[in-house]
């Protein structure tokens, strides 16, 4: 009988290790994360993750890279549904940000955690993270009147919008916003959407 390791096709083991790594990360956090735990989850030798990623930092970098790619895809998907209006597309991107955060909180914390230094990241991670940030900048530049604003004001708007949505995402992930406040007449989804709409003002 072939071993579990031998049943993987080329490329499948790497993806299986990344999926297991995300699961382990969600359970342990980055502090207790280990290659051995990931290998056990997949059912392969403890050397298998090292063969693909080098060490723990390499695996976490690869996982964060995959996270940024999924993050960008989530924002683009919501943006596409929003239609052609630049304001609605920016709001759609913000909702994609929030939906990704709620679906993969441990991954978002890995991507933006204090232990990660963008200038020391792998080229693949830098590219993936840069693409998601460029998505926000492009959405802000597409707003009516943005081309006539001073560059300093544009960048202040970019970071203000990022701060609002990222802060909201963290409130949601920490359970600080489980329901819409009484008196709003809104359910939680509608209330979250009403907050995200502020990025277009």
Domain segments of the chain as ranges: 1-54, 61-200
Please, which pLDDT band fits residue 12 given cuts at 50, 70 and 90?
confident
Give the per-residue pLDDT at 29.
87
Using the predicted structure, report yes or no on whether residue 64 has a pLDDT greater than 90: yes
Architecture of domain 1-54: Orthogonal Bundle (1.10)
Quote the distance between the C-alpha of residue 78 and its chain's center: 14
Please, which pLDDT band fits residue 1 given cuts at 50, 70 and 90?
very low
Specify whether domain 61-200 bears CATH 2.160.10.10.
no
The answer to whether the predicted template modeling score (pTM) of the entire model surpasses 0.85 is: yes
The CA distance from 34 to 123, in Å, is 23
Please, which pLDDT band fits residue 46 given cuts at 50, 70 and 90?
confident
Domains 1-54 and 61-200 share a fold: no
């Amino acid at each position: 009988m072939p071993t579990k390791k031998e049943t993987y096709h080329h490329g499948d083991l790497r993806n299986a290790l990344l999926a297991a790594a995300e699961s382990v990360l969600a359970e342990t956090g980055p502090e207790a994360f280990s290659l051995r735990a990931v290998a056990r989850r997949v059912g392969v030798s403890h050397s298998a993750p090292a063969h693909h990623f080098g060490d723990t930092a390499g695996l976490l970098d690869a996982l964060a890279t995959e996270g940024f790619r999924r993050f960008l895809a989530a924002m683009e998907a919501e943006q596409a549904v929003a239609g052609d209006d630049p304001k609605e597309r920016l709001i759609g991107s913000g909702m994609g940000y929030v939906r990704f955060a709620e679906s993969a909180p441990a991954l978002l914390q890995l991507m933006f955690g204090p232990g990660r230094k963008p200038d020391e990241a792998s080229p693949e991670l830098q590219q993936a993270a840069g693409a998601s940030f460029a998505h926000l900048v492009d959405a802000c530049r597409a707003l009516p009147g943005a081309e006539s604003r001073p560059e300093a004001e544009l960048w202040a708007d970019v970071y203000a919008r990022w701060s609002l949505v990222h802060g909201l995402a963290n409130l949601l992930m920490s359970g600080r916003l489980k329901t819409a406040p009484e008196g709003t007449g809104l359910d939680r989804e509608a209330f979250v959407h009403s907050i995200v709409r502020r990025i277009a003002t």
